[in-house]
Chains A and B, each alone.
Chain A
């Protein structure tokens, strides 16, 4: 394990436990996707192709030393901010302007933000004395609030939430004092009514529906109710792979994307769900462990934030599927079918591996 080889010629090791955890998750994800798509291999192949691309990015990023990321951080942040701003102006997409069409490639700049924001906050804080003082904390907040607001305007509340959370995790891990944390929470609470005014009608509806799904069982409450039925009817051991009736008969909405956990719960039951949660817990725990071993402030903060953000995906998605949280468009990480989020997530793990692999290198 101990390697003291110089720079670029080196082939730093990937973190095997983390990689195995990810691969296990990906494998489970592909099987669930096969069932959720009604046995459509085509969907599975497309997802596998994306994952392959994501793993390639992971491999590539894991070989780049952390300080290179650090140096490029401000540029990346400015670029991401510009792109998010551009989607606002030239965006395409079904009903929202989340996508940017680059001719051959369409991608969501907000995904880039999920990496750029924690990197930027970590970059901003790393030369300073920690725990950060009020001024630094406010500046860090500005760094994360600006893109979050732009993304929320797209409107993509889920991603905005994840972006803001990733920045806040950096602040938290940097040791922001308890008083300041409480102050920020108070500020957020005070901003909530303002947020309600800014929200789109459909977003408000989602919140209202979350509070009382039975009020409109065939309309906006449908998703939550059907999802809960799927989860609940799975019971302890589930109906078995490919046997979920709620999913096969198309009662679960968005069943291969945001609500894929409902399919999983229906088919594998509580036992399956707990095992899946354990797998996620392992990945997050391993990420935090890697962070705590990191020598530099930048790498430490970034690694910790990426791990915790990964968990926020799980928390929000699992909460939404089980009716604990309102319907927010957050995928189940590495399992849900879907474009750029998988690549972003794997890229993030690539950075994590880079931080881990280069921990003995002299900066």
Chain B
């Protein structure tokens, strides 16, 4: 045996003391047991520390481990026109989403995806910008509105892209494109500045938000309230079951007072010329049409507009992004005359039969600077009717001087000039209604009588917007009730389908003081003669009976032209005057009031009046 005990001799190996060894062992075993006991106690304390003292913390972390809260975004409310035509819809679409945590190399992945999916050059940057809103394990949208081809191509290569998914969603679509851009606005991808204005939690699952127009003004109603799902997930994030579900409250559907046919008529009537048309129902202040031309396709912004597209819109002639109906400031020109005439009558400055002689030129006392009539040689003797019918400047020069600028300011302010109308769209321009106080405040200069004279024909400092002009015309037409115009006609909760839509009424901004209703009748009669009178400036648009239209033309100067310089066909387009026209119809029971502006159109009667006529026709056709 190789393994014999390596015990040599008794001399080398001292004898074993079994008793001593036994005692020694027992001592050691006892020590060992005590150490074991100590270790067990320490372990017990460790577990007690974790399970009792830190219980709350770990219990919470265990819960958040197992439960994933997923927002259930509400469907955005649809928008209809007053005849129930859908103007903003939600269409099923696909978007590409990416979970940063699950994707190895973000840059490479996005670059590689670019080969199968048409990503804009700035996709990387857009994605990085959006990333801040999300957590690492959230899905971040990379591209919206994938084409069918792209969805198919991705499906084939899907295995190559862990953490990238094609997700169905509802995409906003504006069926009428640029026709309604300046009314509806559009939704676009949420950015940091949008989030500052909303409840971030409510927008957790939302990708788009109203950027301008109705979409922005009624964002809260349209968006609805986000629901949520508490999901039990395992470690791979796979959903095992839904623990709790709070259904989202979908956004309200909105019905606009706008009539697409009337809108279209205005759009078409403007042709290729830049301009704006606003039509308001004088009986309730609802907006029937609101056109600003040129415009752009809002659907581009929903998808996420490319740098190139955006630049081309910016560079397009006529500034398509600019909403002329709300923001465009124009000299009112002669369209101010009916309101001044009414001021004269109501304030007792002139009588109906008071006549003024027009010889073509008007001079301030002690001045040799002529203020002209548009007709060489003048119009002869005219009273208020004739002054309106033929748009006699001299009559209104005299009237303006008799009223004085401050009374003019105060009376015109009743019609809403110089103030925002309060239309339900953001970013309205208040225009300018001058007065002595205004001029001193603005320029620190005194008021000159010559400025009163030209204010009598709506020139000088006066600036109005198309929506103001239309609202003032509506106020005139309904005998003195100024509404705060409204685009929203009714709204209804999507959840309660079948329920009656909630009617929205335009609030009344002001009931004008009426001294004598006859005075109002005089002015509207004067405006009737503008269209129907033998010498009416807009007699070219006279409709067939029985329709009767009341109107007033205006021409706004673009550049400081000498008064006697005639405009003609040879004048460069951009130097031509803006053509303005206000009208309401049917006469006596007006259901529509229109303001039309054709930029660089030239004479108001010739260029803007037919636009107003087309809008009136379309409306009456529709409401018949």
**Bind each other:** yes
Residues from 115 to 137 in A contacting B, C-beta threshold 8 Å = 127-131
State the interface size on chain A (CB cutoff 8 A).
Answer: 53
User: Could you tell me if B24 and A130 are in contact, using CB atoms closer than 8 angstroms?
Assistant: yes
User: Could you tell me if B43 and A322 are in contact, using CB atoms closer than 8 angstroms?
Assistant: yes
Instruction: Give the distance in Å from the alpha carbon of A291 to the alpha carbon of B66 in the complex.
Output: 48
Residues from 1 to 58 in B contacting A, C-beta threshold 8 Å = 2-3, 5-7, 13-18, 21-22, 24-26, 28-29, 32-33, 36-37, 39-40, 43-44, 46-48, 50-52, 54-55, 57-58
User: Is residue A30 contacting chain B, with contact meaning CB distance below 8 A?
Assistant: no
Q: Which of B7, B25, B37 contacts A300 (CB 8 A)?
A: B25
User: Is residue A41 contacting chain B, with contact meaning CB distance below 8 A?
Assistant: no
Among the stretches A18-26, A155-163, A232-240, A326-334, the one at the interface with B is A232-240
B100: min CB distance to chain A, Å: 12
Within 8 Å CB of B61, what residues of A?
229, 232-233
Among the stretches B117-125, B217-225, B227-235, B570-578, the one at the interface with A is B227-235
User: Could you tell me if A277 and B234 are in contact, using CB atoms closer than 8 angstroms?
Assistant: no
Identify 12 new A-B residue pairs, CB closer than 8 A, beyond the known A174-B28, A249-B232, A311-B36.
Answer: A127-B7, A231-B50, A233-B62, A245-B66, A246-B65, A246-B66, A265-B47, A270-B52, A277-B43, A281-B37, A284-B36, A292-B25
User: Could you tell me if A288 and B7 are in contact, using CB atoms closer than 8 angstroms?
Assistant: no
User: Could you tell me if A292 and B29 are in contact, using CB atoms closer than 8 angstroms?
Assistant: yes
User: Could you tell me if A229 and B29 are in contact, using CB atoms closer than 8 angstroms?
Assistant: no
Could you mark each residue 48-87 of chain B with 1 if its beta carbon is under 8 Å from any beta carbon of chain A, else 0?
1011101101110111011000000000000000000000
User: Could you tell me if A269 and B65 are in contact, using CB atoms closer than 8 angstroms?
Assistant: no
User: Could you tell me if A131 and B234 are in contact, using CB atoms closer than 8 angstroms?
Assistant: no
User: Is residue A54 contacting chain B, with contact meaning CB distance below 8 A?
Assistant: no
User: Is residue A198 contacting chain B, with contact meaning CB distance below 8 A?
Assistant: no
Within 8 Å CB of B66, what residues of A?
245-246, 249, 251
Instruction: Give the distance in Å from the alpha carbon of A270 to the alpha carbon of B28 in the complex.
Output: 31
Could you mark each residue 61-96 of chain A with 1 if its beta carbon is under 8 Å from any beta carbon of chain B, else 0?
000000000000011000000000000000000000
B13: min CB distance to chain A, Å: 7
Contact A235/B55 with A249-B240, A281-B37 known, Cβ cut-off 8 Å = yes
Within 8 Å CB of B48, what residues of A?
270
User: Is residue A48 contacting chain B, with contact meaning CB distance below 8 A?
Assistant: no
Q: Which of A129, A131, A249, A322 contacts B47 (CB 8 A)?
A: A322
Within 8 Å CB of A315, what residues of B?
39, 43
User: Is residue A304 contacting chain B, with contact meaning CB distance below 8 A?
Assistant: yes
User: Could you tell me if A246 and B62 are in contact, using CB atoms closer than 8 angstroms?
Assistant: yes
Instruction: Give the distance in Å from the alpha carbon of A231 to the alpha carbon of B47 in the complex.
Output: 8
User: Is residue A319 contacting chain B, with contact meaning CB distance below 8 A?
Assistant: yes
User: Could you tell me if B235 and A232 are in contact, using CB atoms closer than 8 angstroms?
Assistant: no
B33: min CB distance to chain A, Å: 5
Instruction: Give the distance in Å from the alpha carbon of A169 to the alpha carbon of B589 in the complex.
Output: 111
Contact A175/B50 with A251-B235, A277-B44, A288-B32 known, Cβ cut-off 8 Å = no
> Which 8 A-B residue pairings sit nearest by Cβ, starting from the closest?
A232-B58, A233-B62, A74-B3, A175-B24, A270-B51, A232-B50, A250-B235, A249-B234
User: Could you tell me if B3 and A229 are in contact, using CB atoms closer than 8 angstroms?
Assistant: no
Instruction: Give the distance in Å from the alpha carbon of A251 to the alpha carbon of B17 in the complex.
Output: 57
User: Is residue A318 contacting chain B, with contact meaning CB distance below 8 A?
Assistant: yes
Residue of A nearest to B16 (CB): A129
Within 8 Å CB of A246, what residues of B?
62, 65-66
User: Could you tell me if A288 and B21 are in contact, using CB atoms closer than 8 angstroms?
Assistant: no
Instruction: Give the distance in Å from the alpha carbon of A359 to the alpha carbon of B283 in the complex.
Output: 115
B37: min CB distance to chain A, Å: 7
Residue of A nearest to B48 (CB): A270
Within 8 Å CB of A234, what residues of B?
51
Q: Which of B33, B52, B240 contacts A288 (CB 8 A)?
A: B33
B396: min CB distance to chain A, Å: 79
User: Could you tell me if A292 and B62 are in contact, using CB atoms closer than 8 angstroms?
Assistant: no
User: Is residue A273 contacting chain B, with contact meaning CB distance below 8 A?
Assistant: yes
Instruction: Give the distance in Å from the alpha carbon of A247 to the alpha carbon of B136 in the complex.
Output: 24
Within 8 Å CB of A313, what residues of B?
none
A323: min CB distance to chain B, Å: 8
Most chain A CB within a 10 A radius of its CB, from B16, B17, B236: B16
Interface of B (DSSP majority class): helix
User: Could you tell me if A130 and B16 are in contact, using CB atoms closer than 8 angstroms?
Assistant: yes
Residues from 212 to 249 in A contacting B, C-beta threshold 8 Å = 218, 226, 228-236, 245-246, 249
User: Is residue A43 contacting chain B, with contact meaning CB distance below 8 A?
Assistant: no
B221: min CB distance to chain A, Å: 40
Residue of B nearest to A252 (CB): B235
Most chain B CB within a 10 A radius of its CB, from A232, A269, A297, A308: A232
Residue of B nearest to A253 (CB): B235
Could you mark each residue 377-414 of chain B with 1 if its beta carbon is under 8 Å from any beta carbon of chain A, else 0?
00000000000000000000000000000000000000
Within 8 Å CB of A232, what residues of B?
50-51, 54-55, 57-59, 61-62
Instruction: Give the distance in Å from the alpha carbon of A308 to the alpha carbon of B44 in the complex.
Output: 18
User: Could you tell me if B16 and A172 are in contact, using CB atoms closer than 8 angstroms?
Assistant: no
User: Could you tell me if A175 and B28 are in contact, using CB atoms closer than 8 angstroms?
Assistant: yes
User: Could you tell me if B39 and A236 are in contact, using CB atoms closer than 8 angstroms?
Assistant: no
A147: min CB distance to chain B, Å: 17
A225: min CB distance to chain B, Å: 8
Q: Which of A127, A229, A297 contacts B65 (CB 8 A)?
A: A229
User: Is residue A324 contacting chain B, with contact meaning CB distance below 8 A?
Assistant: yes
User: Is residue A138 contacting chain B, with contact meaning CB distance below 8 A?
Assistant: no
User: Could you tell me if A175 and B21 are in contact, using CB atoms closer than 8 angstroms?
Assistant: yes
A124: min CB distance to chain B, Å: 9
User: Could you tell me if A304 and B234 are in contact, using CB atoms closer than 8 angstroms?
Assistant: no
B63: min CB distance to chain A, Å: 8
Residue of B nearest to A226 (CB): B65
User: Is residue A173 contacting chain B, with contact meaning CB distance below 8 A?
Assistant: yes
Pull 14 A–B residue pairs with CB atoms less than 8 Å apart, ordered by A. Answer: A129-B13, A175-B25, A231-B51, A232-B55, A233-B55, A249-B235, A251-B234, A265-B51, A277-B40, A281-B36, A284-B36, A288-B29, A297-B21, A304-B32
Within 8 Å CB of A304, what residues of B?
25, 28-29, 32
B101: min CB distance to chain A, Å: 8
User: Could you tell me if B28 and A235 are in contact, using CB atoms closer than 8 angstroms?
Assistant: no
Instruction: Give the distance in Å from the alpha carbon of A130 to the alpha carbon of B14 in the complex.
Output: 10
User: Could you tell me if A245 and B44 are in contact, using CB atoms closer than 8 angstroms?
Assistant: no
A73: min CB distance to chain B, Å: 8
Instruction: Give the distance in Å from the alpha carbon of A356 to the alpha carbon of B232 in the complex.
Output: 53
User: Could you tell me if B37 and A324 are in contact, using CB atoms closer than 8 angstroms?
Assistant: no
User: Is residue A274 contacting chain B, with contact meaning CB distance below 8 A?
Assistant: yes
Residue of A nearest to B57 (CB): A232
Instruction: Give the distance in Å from the alpha carbon of A311 to the alpha carbon of B18 in the complex.
Output: 27
User: Could you tell me if A324 and B51 are in contact, using CB atoms closer than 8 angstroms?
Assistant: no
B18: min CB distance to chain A, Å: 8
Within 8 Å CB of B24, what residues of A?
130-131, 175
Q: Which of A174, A228, A233, A273 contacts B44 (CB 8 A)?
A: A273
Contact A270/B47 with A173-B25, A233-B55, A288-B29 known, Cβ cut-off 8 Å = yes
Instruction: Give the distance in Å from the alpha carbon of A129 to the alpha carbon of B16 in the complex.
Output: 5
Instruction: Give the distance in Å from the alpha carbon of A223 to the alpha carbon of B2 in the complex.
Output: 49
Within 8 Å CB of A300, what residues of B?
22, 25
Instruction: Give the distance in Å from the alpha carbon of A280 to the alpha carbon of B40 in the complex.
Output: 9
Within 8 Å CB of B18, what residues of A?
297
Q: Which of A129, A233, A277 contacts B58 (CB 8 A)?
A: A233
Most chain A CB within a 10 A radius of its CB, from B13, B43, B63: B43
User: Could you tell me if A231 and B52 are in contact, using CB atoms closer than 8 angstroms?
Assistant: no
Within 8 Å CB of B29, what residues of A?
173, 288, 291-292, 304
User: Is residue A339 contacting chain B, with contact meaning CB distance below 8 A?
Assistant: no
User: Is residue A338 contacting chain B, with contact meaning CB distance below 8 A?
Assistant: no
User: Could you tell me if A75 and B3 are in contact, using CB atoms closer than 8 angstroms?
Assistant: yes
Contact A322/B50 with A127-B7, A130-B21, A245-B62 known, Cβ cut-off 8 Å = yes
Within 8 Å CB of A311, what residues of B?
36, 39
Residues from 181 to 235 in B contacting A, C-beta threshold 8 Å = 232-235
Could you mark each residue 37-69 of chain A with 1 if its beta carbon is under 8 Å from any beta carbon of chain B, else 0?
000000000000000000000000000000000
Contact A231/B36 with A129-B13, A130-B24, A292-B25 known, Cβ cut-off 8 Å = no
Q: Which of A74, A250, A270, A319 contacts B234 (CB 8 A)?
A: A250
